[in-house]
Amino acid sequence: MLPESGRDMSALAKLTVPITRENRCVYYQNRETATLIEHQDSWEILPLPRQFSTEGQPSVVLGDSPAVFTPELRKAIEEDRTRLIYVLAKGNALPPEASGTPIFTFLVPPVQPAMVRSLVNAAFENLVLVHRQTSLERELQRARAEIDQLNQIGIALSTQRNMNSLMDLILAKSREITTSDAGSLYLVEEDEKEEKCLRFKTTQNDSLQVPFHEFTMPINASSIAGYVALTGESLHLEDVYNTPASLPFRFNPTFDQESGYRTKSMLVVPMKNPQGEIIGVVQLINCKRDARLHVDRRTADQGVIPYPEEVRALVSSLASQAAVAIENNRLYESIQTLFEGFVNASVVAIEARDPTTSGHSFRVADLTVGLAEAVDRADSPEFHNINFSRSEMKEIRYASLLHDFGKVGVREEVLIKAKKLYPQQMEVVQQRFDYVRKAVQQEHTERKLTYILEKGRGEFMARQEEFQRDLEERLRELDDFLQFVLRCNEPTVLPEGNFQRLTELAAVEFLDWEGLPRSLLAAKEAKLLSIPKGSLDETERVEIESHVVHSFNFLSQIPWTKEIKNIPMIARAHHEKLNGTGYPYKLNAAEIPFQSRMMTVSDIYDALSASDRPYKKAVPTEKALDILAQESKQGLLDSALFRLFQEAEVYKLTMNWKHPSSFKL
């Protein structure tokens, strides 16, 4: 028989079991008070509810009847709201109804009060420990979720290279984890007087459109953001209209008055780098109960709440991550600026070797990037699956800018050779013709003098005009020869032939001042003047073609980042042809990178259409495109790319081109 305890009902939750007059059960309201239920006449049957109450604090049930094993009790045990101490009947056997019900412990009659009290206390302590463990696990799970969230945000911040996009991302993530309706971000910078100030960089608001423009403000205690930047301490205001008198600033309500908005709770956090320097401020506005809430004067009082303490800590962690991301971004930008300066200086160095090609590398870069953008936009089958990322566009531009850097390794006289003959060679030819001209004139004078001495003045006067015509004819023939040589000395864009007359000239002889026979045109000179296209002979062409190898070797020495590591390979193929006749590696179509094919079209077009050069006149746009079309039909260029170059009018990008003092990607 079970002992009776008092019936005092504590503040703990009521947990009951179904009961009939045949059931025997003890219901413990808390550790101190128990109510005994006995069907014998000596015990009163309490009017307890017939179902469990599932609310409130834990309870312990003591019973010795199969009727205690109800679904409600099982559920309460599984939810850790109760523990069951079961009194075994005679024979120490559990009834079938006990199957599947967790039992905290057992009692065997006769039941001793001290034992009951001890087991009940243990059951309550077990519930307390379980609840504490559950609470700790929930806290751990929440902390892990926050860490995961911060890690994901950190990854997102670390991969963002555009400073403005980074600012927007920092503010957006800060608002997201705090359910903030609005917010602003400020960066610390130096003004013209090298004094630190705050620059308003970006703002966001879910409830209304806010006009935005950057401005600067002093770092002092007259404003909320300035105060946080000055002190380096986070600031939480439950209602900005009730700012504590101890703070030196007051909220400016002008924006709210003009827009109908209602600024209420505010969390302002400094962004500190690892050295503890404040580099910016994140200002979050209006923590919302429901993220979907539209905040205005009517909804702010009920829908906007103070920022919870755990959220404040989370924003502080995010602000630290944001500071590191901003510092890294600034470092990346400074490195990028440094590298762009190096590239710019390299291009200037290239152009200094040959000022007549000034701007060529920049124009080729503009044309190639423009063609790449056209490829991105094109929906034709040839380009349907080709898209360039920002990094790949940067790679294309750098390769285009530096494609001719190897010209620094080419002899200057070859690099800037304007005619088929070098100036000193042409000067020798002209001096030779001058000598022959004078020799012809001297010979003519001697003939006249001999004729006068032999025939007399009278006969000479009769034939004087004949002598003069003969002289003029010989000089005219000599001048014609010289003009032909000068015409042959001019390089041509397209191959030309009909240099047979040069062979005839090379066979013409004259006597030099020593009386020895000399050719009017030396064999080497005739060979150079017979160059069918351009101004370079085979040896010179090989030398200038070597600039591609020099470029590749130079670019291969640079430790490019992974995202732009293909620059050397792209630059080295810009003179290759699809049919394998290009230089310097005779690559076939499959071996030529797509980016190089684009650069080839741009390079040839600019070389043809650029302003006059000493060795050629600028070719009109239509003529340049016709020449490209011919090379495309011959299988030298990518016909699809040339067609897009023409249809998208990429060539117009450099029509009004001006030489940049610098460039920026």
Do 266 and 363 sit in the same domain of this protein? no
> In this model, does residue 599 exceed pLDDT 90?
yes
Q: According to the 3-state scheme, what is the secondary structure of 29-67?
A: CCCCCEEEECCCCCCCCCCCCCCCCCCCCCEEEEECCHH
Of 342, 335, 336, 346, nearest to 550 (Cα)? 346
Domain boundary (470, 498, 533) is at 533
Phi, psi at residue 556, to the nearest 5°?
-70, -20
> Percentage of residues in the chain with pLDDT exceeding 90?
35
pLDDT at residue number 637: 95
Report which listed range, 155-164, 313-322, 395-404, 465-474, is most confident.
Answer: 395-404
Query: What CA–CA distances, in Å, run from 203 to 182, 207, 252, 513?
Result: 8, 12, 17, 90
Do 81 and 202 sit in the same domain of this protein? no
> In this model, does residue 612 exceed pLDDT 60?
no
What is the mean predicted confidence (pLDDT) over 128-154?
A: 79
User: CB of 61 within 8 A of CB of 73?
Assistant: yes
Task: Give me the amino acid identity at 536.
Answer: L
The H or E element that residue 398 is part of is helix 390-401
**CA-CA distance, 251 to 328, in Å (whole number)?**
33
What is the mean predicted confidence (pLDDT) over 475-487?
A: 88
Do 24 and 92 sit in the same domain of this protein? yes
> In this model, does residue 158 exceed pLDDT 70?
yes
Residue 149 inside a domain? The answer is: yes
User: CB of 218 within 8 A of CB of 224?
Assistant: no
pLDDT at residue number 27: 52
Give the single-character DSSP code of 365: H
pLDDT at residue number 597: 96
Residue 345 inside a domain? The answer is: no
What is the pLDDT confidence band of residue 57, given thresholds at 50, 70 and 90? low
Contacts 24+ apart (CB under 8 A), 432-441: 432/518, 432/520, 433/478, 433/481, 433/482, 433/485, 433/520, 435/510, 435/512, 435/513, 436/478, 436/510, 436/520, 437/475, 437/478, 439/510, 439/511, 440/471, 440/474, 440/475, 440/478, 441/471, 441/475
What is the mean predicted confidence (pLDDT) over 302-307?
A: 94
Please state, rounded to an integer, the average pLDDT across all residues of the chain.
Answer: 82
> In this model, does residue 596 exceed pLDDT 90?
yes
Domain boundary (511, 533, 555) is at 533
What is the mean predicted confidence (pLDDT) over 157-181?
A: 85
> In this model, does residue 14 exceed pLDDT 70?
no
Domain boundary (136, 159, 182) is at 159
**CA-CA distance, 644 to 627, in Å (whole number)?**
16
Of 88, 43, 34, 95, nearest to 70 (Cα)? 95
Domain that holds residue 618: 354-414+540-654
What is the mean predicted confidence (pLDDT) over 560-584?
A: 93
Do 38 and 119 sit in the same domain of this protein? yes
> In this model, does residue 147 exceed pLDDT 80?
no
**CA-CA distance, 355 to 349, in Å (whole number)?**
10
What is the mean predicted confidence (pLDDT) over 442-465?
A: 85
What is the mean predicted confidence (pLDDT) over 190-206?
A: 88
Residue 346 inside a domain? The answer is: no
Residue 349 inside a domain? The answer is: no
User: CB of 632 within 8 A of CB of 642?
Assistant: yes
pLDDT at residue number 481: 87
Residue 446 inside a domain? The answer is: yes
> In this model, does residue 366 exceed pLDDT 50?
yes
What is the pLDDT confidence band of residue 5, given thresholds at 50, 70 and 90? very low
Total domain count, the chain: 4
What is the pLDDT confidence band of residue 660, given thresholds at 50, 70 and 90? low
Of 21, 96, 107, nearest to 60 (Cα)? 107
Q: 546: Cβ–Cβ under 8 A, 6 or more apart, which residues?
A: 406, 409, 410, 584
> In this model, does residue 343 exceed pLDDT 70?
yes
pLDDT at residue number 195: 86
Phi, psi at residue 3, to the nearest 5°?
-70, 155
**CA-CA distance, 624 to 647, in Å (whole number)?**
15
Do 320 and 367 sit in the same domain of this protein? no
> In this model, does residue 22 exceed pLDDT 50?
no
pLDDT at residue number 491: 84
Judged by average pLDDT, the poorest of 87-96, 175-184, 199-208 is: 87-96
Do 501 and 404 sit in the same domain of this protein? no
> In this model, does residue 49 exceed pLDDT 60?
no
Do 96 and 134 sit in the same domain of this protein? yes
Do 628 and 580 sit in the same domain of this protein? yes
Residue 227 is part of a domain; what is its CATH number?
A: 3.30.450.40
> In this model, does residue 217 exceed pLDDT 70?
yes
Do 430 and 512 sit in the same domain of this protein? yes
> In this model, does residue 532 exceed pLDDT 80?
yes
pLDDT at residue number 30: 39
Residue 348 inside a domain? The answer is: no
> In this model, does residue 138 exceed pLDDT 60?
yes
**CA-CA distance, 401 to 361, in Å (whole number)?**
5
- The pTM assigned to this predicted structure is 0.60
State pLDDT tens for residues 222-242.
999 999 999 999 999 999 999
State pLDDT tens for residues 81-121.
888 888 887 667 888 888 888 999 988 877 777 787 788 78
> In this model, does residue 537 exceed pLDDT 70?
yes
Residue 342 inside a domain? The answer is: no
Do 479 and 446 sit in the same domain of this protein? yes
Do 176 and 309 sit in the same domain of this protein? yes
User: CB of 56 within 8 A of CB of 12?
Assistant: yes
What is the mean predicted confidence (pLDDT) over 532-555?
A: 86
DSSP 534-590: SS--HHHHHHHHHHHHHHHHHHHTS---GGGTTHHHHHTTTT--TTS--SSS---GG
- Relative to beta strand 180-190, strand 105-107 is unpaired
> In this model, does residue 33 exceed pLDDT 70?
no
> Percentage of residues in the chain with pLDDT exceeding 70?
87
Residue 629 is part of a domain; what is its CATH number?
A: 1.10.3210.10
pLDDT at residue number 56: 53
Helix residue ranges per DSSP H, 34-162: 71-78, 113-158
pLDDT at residue number 307: 95
pLDDT at residue number 10: 30
pLDDT at residue number 11: 25
Do 360 and 291 sit in the same domain of this protein? no
Judged by average pLDDT, the poorest of 24-33, 417-426, 575-584 is: 24-33
pLDDT at residue number 161: 73
- The alpha carbon dihedral of 342, 343, 346, 348 has a sign of negative
Residue 662 inside a domain? The answer is: no
